[in-house]
Amino acid sequence: MRGIVFAMLSLVRPVIPLLIIVLSLLSSPLAGGAFVAPPDSVRDLEKATTEKTGGMSGQNGETVKGFEDPGYDDGDEAGQSIPAIEANRSIPPEEKISPLLSPDYLGQFDIPIVFNEAVDYFIRYFTVQKRKVFVNWLKRSKRYAPTIRAILRQEGLPEDLVYLAMIESGFNPKAYSPMKACGPWQFIYETGERYGLRVNYWIDERRDPQKSTVAAARYLKDLFNQFGCWYLAAAGYNAGEGRIERAIVKHETNDFWELSKYNTLPRETRQYIPQLIAAAIIAKDPEKFGLRDIPFDAPIPSAIHRVPGGTPLFLVARAAGIDLTLLHSLNPEILRGITPPHGGWYALRLPVRVDGEGFSERLRGSLGDGNRVQGVKGHMVRRKDSISRIAKQYGVSRGDLMLVNACGGDFSIRPGSVVYIPRFERDNERKVIAETQVAQGLEKEEKSQVSPAPTMTDKTQNAKRYDVVKGGEKGPDITRRYGVETGVLRQTSNLKSDKIRPKTRILSANGVRVGSSPRKEGVGEAGIQNRVFHVVKKGENLADIAEKYGTNVAELKKVNKLRKDRITPNMRLQVTARNKTQLAGGKTDRARSDQIRSRTNQGRTLQARQAKLYHVVKNGENLNDISEKYRLNVTSLKRMNGLKKDGVRPGMRLRIASR
């Protein structure tokens, strides 16, 4: 009998783990609903809430972020994970929520509202564990939600989609995630660009509440047209439409709650819709859920005022009679201390109480002193550079540098970074005066190269200030004569296009080449005129470029302040050509240069074998890889290094060529 019992147990024992798994699945809430994070699995939710895989990267169909806490002050980075939930593995018992959700209450929504265990959990989560965070979201909602609702309504979308922005960023325009998603709608760069949001050094329109809402509305409209369901559209906004489409095809259903039963969708996306519904339910009537006496941020009615590009914001605030902080709050898309210097006028938002005519007049007076920034010049920070040293070198103040470099008040430098130097309108006036003085000083010396000395009559003066393009002259001939690019000639001579025709009048500044600077002592006319720039092409090296322009590597390194021989494609090098053919770009030498590059490429393996005698084995490499790389066979490589076996290890030094 005992033997029979042991035999039966031996047969049943392998099945016991399977039975346990089946029973656990049957008892799980997933078996009867779409609950992803039940109250008795707080550790799972805790793991999800502390993920930091980035924000809204799912818009490209791949990575998504964990549930994050965007309830921080303006200027802080998003993506700071919510602190761990209390480890008591249960939520404090509260009264049932379902009686609070009467049909009349649910009838206020224009998006589908499903109440289940997942929604119940997140209502408790937002009102208990994350009560302070959610209150901050509600506090900002009164300032931004009305504008967002109006745009959604104008685009023909449900207004309650405003709560997507709430769970994405907490209505913080400056929210920024580790995956570089930005703004109230947490757009990544690619998706923002697809829907017309500009991002550059000066502005980031993903932070503009109005423009980013328009982009989000159009994106959500496209997602709804693709899936035909607002839950799937919101899930696609979070995880990316590609991921949702693949899940639908795999499981043959377009029901979000059915899809959420599987691990095909990321944990965050499965929780995303319950969070959206919970946030909408609470925000409709916060007091019903115990959130009282919330200090809401008051809306700031604003109007558009156009200001010139490159205008310092502190001058705008002074002319408008408002605080600079308020100006930044109304225009969070501006990243620097000035409006974008290129592109003409810029539309700024100012409080409606600002008088337009008075503001324009005061701003015009402030800019009359040449305080507008026209452009910037880059400076590569060296090891011993400091902010004060750079400012002194270029004759600007620390405040001037902060205008075009600081972002959110933070301005620091490190070796290898680029600091931009502002170029003000007043600098142009000084430049004109300096050029006039230089022209007068060089007039006598260059008398043989310019027209006769001007007389005092306006007609003669005007005739001598311009050169007339002769028939047969082409653009390259003219640019070589003046030593500047066509764009500079176009700007200084007020030309409508880069095409220069015969009899066109070119400003010559009394015989001095346009764009030229005062000559240094010991530098002749030919030296200045023959100095050009060369853009490094792929495969070129300093020796190729030096041969092309008739110079040597040492001179190239000295002129361009290079410490090493290494150059990269698209690098701009200053070179001094020895003759007109080389000045024109070395067109006649192009075939020879191509031949040199071709010969270099063909002999690259041979040079490696002759010049580089040893190879250090990298992780993952084997003898086959190394022999193929240097055009050797494994037998020769083993014989050259005295190896008996094929095994090599990282860090091993192998001879690959004889001396």
Flag whether pLDDT at 288 surpasses 80.
yes
Give the SS3 label for residue 325: helix
Give the SS3 label for residue 354: coil
- The mean per-residue pLDDT over the stretch 464-479 comes to 61
Ranges 42-46, 572-576, 611-615: which has the least confidence: 42-46
pLDDT of residue 560: 87
pLDDT of residue 143: 95
Six-digit token string for 503: 């009899």
Flag whether pLDDT at 47 surpasses 80.
no
Flag whether pLDDT at 252 surpasses 50.
yes
Q: How far apart are CA 392 and CA 390, in angstroms?
A: 5
What confidence tier does 24 reach under pLDDT thresholds 50, 70, 90?
A: very low
Mapping DSSP onto H, E and C, the string for 375-424 reads: EEEEEECCCCCCHHHHHHHHCCCHHHHHHHHCECCECCCCCCCEEEEEEE
- For residue 279, how many other CB atoms are within 10 A of its CB? 23
Q: How far apart are CA 101 and CA 282, in angstroms?
A: 10
With contact defined as beta carbons under 8 Å apart, do 546 and 552 qualify?
A: yes
- The mean per-residue pLDDT over the stretch 248-273 comes to 93
Q: How far apart are CA 338 and CA 331, in angstroms?
A: 11
Q: Which of 359, 428, 332, 418 is nearest to 74 (CA)?
A: 332
pLDDT of residue 14: 63
- The model's pLDDT over 515-567, given as tens digits with 9 standing for 90+, comes to 433 333 333 333 444 567 888 888 888 888 888 888 888 888 888 888 888 88
The percentage of the chain sitting over the pLDDT mark of 70, rounded to a whole number, equals: 63
- The mean per-residue pLDDT over the stretch 156-163 comes to 96
Flag whether pLDDT at 199 surpasses 90.
yes
Flag whether pLDDT at 74 surpasses 50.
no
Q: Calculate the alpha carbon distances from 414 to 61, 202, 382 in Å.
A: 36, 21, 8
With contact defined as beta carbons under 8 Å apart, do 551 and 560 qualify?
A: no
What confidence tier does 54 reach under pLDDT thresholds 50, 70, 90?
A: very low
Flag whether pLDDT at 66 surpasses 80.
no
- For residue 377, how many other CB atoms are within 10 A of its CB? 11
pLDDT of residue 50: 34
With contact defined as beta carbons under 8 Å apart, do 191 and 60 qualify?
A: yes
What confidence tier does 64 reach under pLDDT thresholds 50, 70, 90?
A: very low
Flag whether pLDDT at 193 surpasses 80.
yes
Flag whether pLDDT at 509 surpasses 90.
no
With contact defined as beta carbons under 8 Å apart, do 174 and 237 qualify?
A: no
Q: How far apart are CA 209 and CA 173, in angstroms?
A: 6
Look up residue 298 and give its amino acid.
A
* Phi, psi dihedral angles at 183 (to 5 degrees): 90, 180
- The mean per-residue pLDDT over the stretch 101-122 comes to 85
Q: Which residue has the tokens 């001037």?
A: 400
Six-digit token string for 560: 């361009």
Flag whether pLDDT at 599 surpasses 70.
no
pLDDT of residue 282: 94
pLDDT of residue 620: 77
- The model's pLDDT over 328-377, given as tens digits with 9 standing for 90+, comes to 999 999 999 999 998 789 999 999 999 999 999 999 999 887 889 988 99
Assign domain 32-286 to its CATH architecture.
Orthogonal Bundle (1.10)
Q: What CA dihedral angle connects 598, 600, 604 and 607, to 10 degrees? A: 150
- The mean per-residue pLDDT over the stretch 323-329 comes to 94
Average pLDDT over all residues of the chain: 75
Q: Where are the domains of the chain?
A: 1-28, 32-286, 302-426, 530-602, 606-655
What confidence tier does 624 reach under pLDDT thresholds 50, 70, 90?
A: confident
Prediction pTM value: 0.57
H helices within 60-172, ranges in order? 103-106, 117-124, 131-154, 162-169
- The model's pLDDT over 383-413, given as tens digits with 9 standing for 90+, comes to 989 999 999 999 999 999 999 998 767 788 9
With contact defined as beta carbons under 8 Å apart, do 298 and 368 qualify?
A: no
pLDDT of residue 77: 37
Six-digit token string for 310: 């490159």
Flag whether pLDDT at 577 surpasses 50.
yes
Question: What top-level class would CATH report for the domain 606-655?
Answer: alpha beta
- The mean per-residue pLDDT over the stretch 25-47 comes to 37
The percentage of the chain sitting over the pLDDT mark of 90, rounded to a whole number, equals: 41
With contact defined as beta carbons under 8 Å apart, do 617 and 603 qualify?
A: no
Please enumerate in sequence order all residues whose Cβ is within 8 A of that of 568, keeping only pairs 6 or more positions apart, or say none: 536
Flag whether pLDDT at 227 surpasses 60.
yes
Q: How far apart are CA 500 and CA 495, in angstroms?
A: 8
Give the SS3 label for residue 206: helix
Chosen CATH of 530-602 out of 3.10.350.10, 2.60.40.290, 3.20.20.70, 3.20.20.140? 3.10.350.10
pLDDT of residue 344: 86
Flag whether pLDDT at 449 surpasses 80.
no
- The mean per-residue pLDDT over the stretch 181-191 comes to 95
Q: How far apart are CA 136 and CA 436, in angstroms?
A: 61
Report the DSSP beta bridge partners of residue 421: 377
With contact defined as beta carbons under 8 Å apart, do 188 and 59 qualify?
A: yes
H helices within 567-646, ranges in order? 580-583, 590-602, 604-611, 623-629, 634-641
Rg of the chain taking only CA atoms, in angstroms: 35
Chain length of the chain: 659
The C-alpha angle with vertex 64 and arms to 59 and 66, in degrees rounded to 5, equals 145
- The mean per-residue pLDDT over the stretch 628-656 comes to 82
Chain-centroid distance of CA 276 in Å reads 28
Six-digit token string for 616: 């250090």
H helices within 337-397, ranges in order? 356-367, 387-394
With contact defined as beta carbons under 8 Å apart, do 230 and 273 qualify?
A: no
With contact defined as beta carbons under 8 Å apart, do 283 and 165 qualify?
A: no
Flag whether pLDDT at 44 surpasses 90.
no
Q: How far apart are CA 297 and CA 168, in angstroms?
A: 19
Report the DSSP beta bridge partners of residue 410: 407
pLDDT of residue 103: 75
Identical fold, 32-286 and 530-602? no
pLDDT of residue 579: 55
H helices within 172-240, ranges in order? 189-194, 209-227, 230-239
